[in-house]
Amino acid sequence: MTSVLLWVWKSKLLFIMRLAFSICLFCLLQSFATGTFSQNQRLSINQKNISIEDVIQMIEDKTDYYFMYSALTVDVEQTVDIQANNKPIAEILDGLFKSTNITWKMNGRLIALSVNGGLPSVSRQPRNISGKVTDTSGASLPGVTVIVKETSKGTITSSDGSYILTNIPDDATLVFSFVGMKTQEMPIQGKAIINIVLTEETIGIEEVVAVGYGTVRKKDLTGAVSQINAEKLERESSSNMTALLRGALPGLNVNFSTSAKGLSSAGDMMVRGQKSLRVDASDEKGANAPLIVLDGMIYYGDMSDINPVDIETIDVLKDASSSAIYGARASNGVILITTKKGRKGKPTITVNSSIGLSTRSHTAIGLMSPKRFIDWRIAGYESNEKKQESKSGYYDSPDNLPTGVSVDSWKAYDGSSEASDLTSVWLNRIGFSTTEINNYKEGKTVDWEDYLFQTGVTQDYNVSLAGSSDALSYYWSLGYVDNEGMWYNEDFNTIRSRINLEANVTNWLKVGINTQFAVRDESSIPASLNMYLTPYASSYQDDGVTLMYAPTGNVSVSRHPWLALTYQDRFQKYNNMNSKIYATLTLPFGFTFTSEYIPRFNWNRSYNWYSAQQDDYTAENGRASRENTTVFEWQVNNILKWNRKFGEHSFDLTLVQNSEKYQYWYDGMSRNYFQPNDYLGYHAMQSATADLSITSNDQISTGAAYLARLNYVMKDRYMITGSFRRDGYSAFGQKNPWADFGSLALGWMISEENFFKIKWIDFLKIRASYGTNGNRGVGIYDALSNLATGKFVMIEDGSEKYVSKLYTSRMANSNLKWERTGAYNGGLDFSVLKGRIKGNFDTYFMKTTNLLMERQLPDITGFASVYSNMGQVNNKGFELSLNSTNIQTNDFIWTSGFSVAHNKNEIIHLFGDYTPDENGNMKEVDDETNEWFIGHSTDEIWDYKVLGIWQTDEKEEAAKYAREPGDFKLWDYDGDGYYTNKDKQFLGYRQPKYRVSFRNDFQYKNWDFSIKMYSYLGHKAANNHRKGDDSFYDRGTAYDVPYWTPEHPNNRWARVRSYESGFNVWEDNSFVRIDNIALTYSLPKAFLDGYKIAACNISLVTQNPYVWRPTWDWMDPESQGYAPTYYSLKLNFTL
């Protein structure tokens, strides 16, 4: 393989050339190492009149050494005689070249050849250059752009990969670029034939990583950054980018979504642990939400507005040093999303289409079957009404009476002696309505799951156009998603478009725009499950068309699951536009200056009409509401950069000035009593005659920042990054708007050192960082006192009228300020066994102080809490990520990715209030109301310990606690006969101790197969369904799960409608999920070439096919309810 790779090697080239070489060398060694390597290999070669090329071939075949040379300068076709018996390689080489002008140099396993005498003579004569471009497998590459650098001259390779350029100056450099391949530059240096092998762009040490307001080579990185690239994303099938991130990176936790839309909010993701004591992750304050940065703009929009096909890379900044540049909001980590740019070359059109199905996953638990339902009803009555009704067999069917009970005596129990309709007597006793009794007699049942769920169709179509010339690069995409969910009538659709343009106006001015536009439609109203839909109910009225308002006949609880979707008209649309407009000036002395203007617009409409045709709204003759929300937000960044190398020292300085303003306008109205009728719904609010509410709420917030960052790299192996940021935010604007943050990080590429002699380690870098970051996750006005307004009615002069009501609903805190996290991170990046295994290990310690939290107040103050800065929470943990190439042959490649992340936090301080403990020592006061305890973690469970179920023979003991057999037995720790807080125990953790992901990719010829699994381990969740109180036994039905009866006791599931108050039943929630399986077939290039198609592949993908949760007794362990499984067929092609 090596012999096809040509390179220029000159020992006396400039430092820069050596640098480039060593990088390439590194990659090469990473990429092609196979077999075992031994420094002291010996070899025997005895040949006469053999070409040097053949000798090289022999050495390569028999040893681990590789040769590198330029066939244009080094004449390997000359023949030599060679005689070597069990000689070291060095000796053989000396002998081989002694009669030639070739010198050799060994660097690790690579042997570089060059011609004596330094630089070849450079002719300035223009000449014709030709050659052939191939990929690493030797296949010719058509369509490669070949450009003479710094000119507009160029061509494109023909179908056999060959090219010809005429009249090219000798000192010119050719640039070879092709989609999906690394761009290569090649100086002509007198050659007439230049053959080039383009390597695919892969993730490796060479990868560039975004670090905020810039990029850095991964090898120069000093912080903890994880990256995934687009190629991986494309294998999977999801229209929501967050699904791709789930389980993809260690230390990034992404919530599970069950909706057709997928996740919306950054608050559904968390980097490393919970730093804030606030868990309001899903609200707009996002106390633990990572910062999302989309193409350099801080992104507050909806996650589902970002089209995954537009994404080039996603970088997650985890440690303080990496994220310090975003200091303001970065204490929860930063997710940087970079979208695609046009690549050099001809315009390409890429089409991604996916069509699939969504269904309930295998973990779904249905409602009880008719037979089980009746048993459950009887058990419910017997369990709950036995004190009132203890007559033997009272609730039993007359066909199934206990021994000793005659039908006559059974009938007489409730005065039904004269009754001849025994079925009705019986069913009346177990709460059947007339409707249900009639259906029972007629043998009619309804399977409500048919009404509640559907097999949804998911569709996702995208087309993009991309390309680039020297002057302009362009990327435009348009996508349409229509996802039906697992719930009946659940539907989400969105149209998304993106334009990324960048123009090099002159050699000193570059301008560009990145714009994303999305229209989301969330109008669909899914069927709604309620537990009062029994199997013997009726779904339609006698006409067979009109829905039953109350299917069981019980108007107070039973509701048809289709009522809302039939009688309510909802219009809920979100139009969002995000844009970045920028210009970059290239200045002398390595300076560049960029100015960015980033506007974001949201226009959201939520309109509802509740038709008077539905019984609930008949009396008020219909109800309708309109809500409009507009958001306009802008950010401005002015960025000055300086990038300069002085010998072994290279500097990269970034200075940024930032300011932002957020404006929000909301207006809503809700009216009823429409006249003459409500047929126009929310389109004619003026035809309503009464107001339910008219509301407006406008908000403004502002922020500003100044920051500086310096990267310094010495000798390519010592790196240092320092940053400073000063941040201002209007929510703290009364006294403490500004805060300062900083960071320092060090990196050492120890494997580059001469003394580093561990041969099986190819690469080793040590990183260490410390930094501080801020969190401003409070409401815009949380520091201000707020007068809540309301209305009230009084009668003056005989007429009712509104009077105004005002009360203070929020205590002011003018001292409110930034929450601050100081974080240490230590990390290792390594590659061992010739690149077979690569990985990263990071360990961290984070100390969050001045926690922004709602400090609990005694409720007698009239305030439940006040926003304050107090306390301290520490987080520590580690992340390990390993990528291995398990098998690599010409036809078959098997790679694995494994990661594990662990985080644990601890509350160190809360309010700083101390009281003496039992021993008289001062002890900081816990917050029992919020279940925060000093020395414990924020997610620790503090509750009564469930010991099991009270059994029949424990009746008397249970009665002391006002419980009965079949109820949960809780531990009365202090034995005082009451369940009080003193009996509560620490029972485990809500957050997983370990999050593990495991991904395998197999490639066999044109087939790719990947399987992604992840697992959360060592945490608990409440499974209160075991209390048997999901519904009332006399009106409802139940999930198809076990329950306790005296005849069939157990120690896990309580009796029907057991004592449920005041405690939770905790279960181990550990699980392993197969998250994604994809099988892809790529059509052969040879076949596609005939149709001028660059690439085409077809995939079968399934998401969430299986989850294994041995200790969890309920449905999906993450959603803790129904969860979807998706199957899709994808077709992608590029023209």
Partner 1 sequence: MVLLGGGCSTDFLEPEPLSFYAPENTFIDADGLNAALVACLSNAKNEYCGDGTPIVTEHVFSDVAVEGTTDKTGPAQDLPAQILPDAELNNCDWTRIGWYWTAGYNRIKYANTVISRIDNAEWKNEAERNNILGKAYFHRARVYYQLTQQFGDVPLILEEITEPRLDFYSCTRKSILQKCKKDLELAANWVVSEADGAPVGDVNKAAVYHLLAKVDLALLDFDGAVAAANAVIDDGYYTLMTERFGTDKSDPTHDVIWDLHQEKNKALPENRERIYLIVNSESLTENSASVKTQVMRQTVPFFGGSGKVKTPTGQPGTTDSPYGTKVGKGTVEYDLVTQYGRGIGRCRPTNYYQYDVWDDPDDLRHSYPNWMRMQDLVYNHPNLKVLGDPYYGKHLQKYDDRGNLLCTDTIRSWYNWPYYKLYMEDPTDLTPDGGYGDWYIYRLAETYLLRAEAYFWKGELTKAAADINAVRTRAGCAPYDAGDINIGTILDERARELYYEEPRKTEITRIAFILAETGKPCYNGKTYSLDNFSENNFWYDRVMEKNIFYGTNVVAPHHTYRAAEWIALWPIPAATINANSLGHINQNKGYPGAETNLTPYIWRDGEGEGEIIPQ
Please tell me whether residue 434 binds partner 1 under the rule CB under 8 A.
yes
* Binding test (CB under 8 A) with partner 1, winner from 169, 553, 599, 1049: 553
Query: Does 385 engage in binding with partner 1 (CB under 8 A)?
Result: yes
**Given the complex with partner 1, which of 679 and 911 has the nearer CB atom?**
911
Binder of partner 1 out of 408, 542, 956, 1047 (CB under 8 A)? 542
From 667, 659, 605, select the one nearest 633 (Cα to Cα).
659
SS3 of residue 420 by DSSP: coil
Q: Does 1032 bind partner 1 (CB under 8 A)?
A: yes
* DSSP-assigned states of every residue in 816-869: ---EEEEEEEEEEEEEETTTTEEEEEEEEEEEEEEEEEEEE--GGGS-SEEEEE
Residues 121-180 interacting with partner 1 (rule: CB under 8 A): none
Residue choice 979, 989, 998, 1063 for contact with partner 1 (CB under 8 A):
979
**Only segment of 347-355, 909-917, 1010-1018, 1073-1081 that touches partner 1 (CB under 8 A):** 909-917
Shortest approach of partner 1 to residue 781 CB, angstroms?
A: 6
Give the range of 131-139, 247-255, 300-308, 923-931 binding partner 1 by CB under 8 A.
923-931
In this complex, which beta carbon is closest to partner 1, that of residue 1053 or of residue 1122?
Answer: 1053
CB of 873 to partner 1, least distance (A): 19
Q: Which two structure tokens, joined as six digits, stand for 801?
A: 């009228």
- 922 sits near partner 1 (criterion: CB under 8 A): no
Give residues 1047-1106 in contact with partner 1 (rule: CB under 8 A).
1057-1062
Determine if 909 is a binding residue for partner 1 (CB under 8 A).
no
Give the orientation angle of helix 89-97 with respect to helix 52-62, to 10 degrees: 170
In sequence order, what DSSP letters do the residues of 532-594 get, joined into one string? Answer: T--TTS-SB-TTSSSBPSSTTS-TTT---TTHHHHHEEEEEEEEEEEEEEEEEEE-GGGEEEE
CA distance linking residue 694 with residue 685, whole number of Å: 12
Out of 894, 961, 973, 1106, the residue judged to bind partner 1 by CB under 8 A: 961
Q: Which of residues 314-353 bind partner 1 (CB under 8 A)?
A: none
Q: Considering the complex, what minimum distance in angstroms separates the CB of residue 963 from partner 1?
A: 9
Pattern 439-458, partner 1, x by CB under 8 A: --------------------
Binding part of the chain for partner 1, among 300-308, 385-393, 897-905, 1006-1014 by CB under 8 A, reads 385-393
The pairing of beta strand 110-115 with beta strand 66-68: parallel
Q: Which is nearer to partner 1, 514 or 881 (CB)?
A: 514
Among 462-470, 591-599, 1009-1017, 1097-1105, the segment contacting partner 1 (CB under 8 A): 591-599
Find the shortest distance in angstroms from Cβ 1044 to partner 1: 15
Question: What contacts 661, CB < 8 A, 6 or more positions away?
Answer: 633, 634, 700, 701, 702, 703
Shortest Cβ 695–partner 1 spacing (Å): 8
Q: Is the distance from CB of 361 to CB of 1107 less than 8 angstroms?
A: yes
Least Å distance between CB 685 and partner 1?
15
> Is 613 one of the binding residues for partner 1 (CB under 8 A)?
no
438 binds partner 1 (CB under 8 A): yes
Tell how many helices (H) and how many strands (E) occur in the chain.
15, 53
- Comparing CB distances to partner 1, the nearer of 145 and 658 is 658
- Least distance in Å: CB of 712 to partner 1? 27
Residue carrying structure tokens 């690149």: 835
- Reading the block at residue 981, the tokens are 């807080």
**Consecutive H or E run containing 23:** helix 15-32
| Stretch in the footprint of partner 1 (CB under 8 A) among 161-169, 416-424, 1091-1099, 1100-1108 | 416-424
- 8 Å CB contact between 1043 and 1106: no
Cα 884 vs. chain centroid, distance in angstroms? 23
Residues between 727 and 756 with contacts to partner 1, criterion CB under 8 A:
728-734, 737-738
- Site for partner 1 contains 971 (CB under 8 A): no
Residues 842 to 861 in contact with partner 1, rule: CB under 8 A:
855-861
Q: Does 554 bind partner 1 (CB under 8 A)?
A: yes
Output the smallest distance, CB 865 to partner 1, in A.
9
Q: How far is the CB of 916 from partner 1 (least distance, A)?
A: 12
Q: Give the H/E segment covering residue 643.
A: strand 623-646
Whole-angstrom distance, CA of residue 760 vs CA of residue 194:
36
- Strand segments, DSSP code E, in 116-264 are 127-135, 145-148, 154-156, 162-168, 173-177, 184-187, 196-198, 208-210, 215-217, 225-229, 252-254
CB neighbours of residue 431 within 10 Å: 19
- Report the candidate in 1105, 772, 1120, 997 with the shortest Cα–Cα distance to residue 245: 997
Please identify which residue in 416, 572, 1000, 1006 interacts with partner 1, judged by CB under 8 A: 416
* Residue span binding partner 1 (CB under 8 A) among the ranges 241-249, 454-462, 707-715, 921-929: 921-929
The pair of structure tokens assigned to 453 is: 């769920």
Instruction: Give percent helix, percent strand, percent coil of the chain, each to the nearest 5.
Output: 15, 45, 40
CA 916 vs CA 29, 104, 925, 931, 976: distances in Å = 65, 79, 9, 20, 24
- Whole-number minimum distance, CB 668 to partner 1, in Å? 12
Within positions 663 to 702, which residues make up the interface with partner 1, using CB under 8 A?
690-694, 696-702
Site membership for partner 1, residue 921 (CB under 8 A): no
**What does residue 671 show for φ and ψ, rounded to 5 degrees?**
-135, 160
Q: Which residues in the 857-886 window bind partner 1 by CB under 8 A? A: 857-863, 866, 868
> Where in 567-586 is the site for partner 1 (CB under 8 A)?
583
Q: Outline where DSSP puts E strands in 676-798.
A: 688-714, 718-729, 738-749, 761-775, 786-796
Residue 256 beta carbon to partner 1: minimum distance, rounded to whole angstroms: 30
Closest approach of partner 1 to the CB of residue 315, in Å = 26
Positions 777 through 836 that interact with partner 1 (CB under 8 A): 780-781, 783-796, 798, 800-808, 811-812
Which of 192, 555, 587, 758 touches partner 1 (CB under 8 A)? 555
Q: Give dist(CA 586, CA 510) in Å, integer.
A: 8
| Least distance CB 1120 / partner 1 (angstroms) | 22
Query: Is 1051:1041 a contact under the CB 8 Å cutoff?
Result: no
Nearest approach in angstroms of CB 814 to partner 1 is 10
Does residue 717 belong to the site contacting partner 1 (CB under 8 A)? no
- Decide: 497 and 479 in contact? Cβ < 8 Å: yes
- In whole angstroms, the minimum distance from the beta carbon of 936 to partner 1 comes to 16
Is residue 718 left, alpha or beta, with left meaning phi > 0 and alpha meaning psi from -120 to 50? beta
Neighbours of 952 (CB within 10 A): 14
Nearest approach, Cβ of residue 1121 and partner 1 (Å): 22
Q: Which is nearer to partner 1, 176 or 432 (CB)?
A: 432
Region of 272-280, 448-456, 925-933, 1085-1093 interacting with partner 1 (CB under 8 A): 925-933
Which span sits near partner 1 by CB under 8 A: 7-15, 219-227, 434-442, 525-533? 434-442
Cβ nearer to partner 1, comparing 99 with 434: 434
Which residue stretch of 54-62, 262-270, 613-621, 625-633 sits at the interface with partner 1 (rule: CB under 8 A)?
Answer: 613-621
All residues at 6 or more sequence positions from 945 whose CB lies less than 8 Å from its CB, including other chains = 970, 971, 973, 985, 987
Say what angle helices 422-429 and 434-442 make with each other, to 10 degrees.
130
Q: Find, among 458, 231, 466, 219, the residue nearest to 342 by Cα.
A: 466
Select the residue interacting with partner 1 from 248, 705, 823, 852 (CB under 8 A): 705
What is the closest distance, in whole angstroms, from the C-beta atom of residue 332 to partner 1 in the complex? 22
Burial class of residue 173 in the structure, from the number of CB atoms within 10 Å of its CB (0-12 exposed, 13-18 middle, 19+ buried): middle
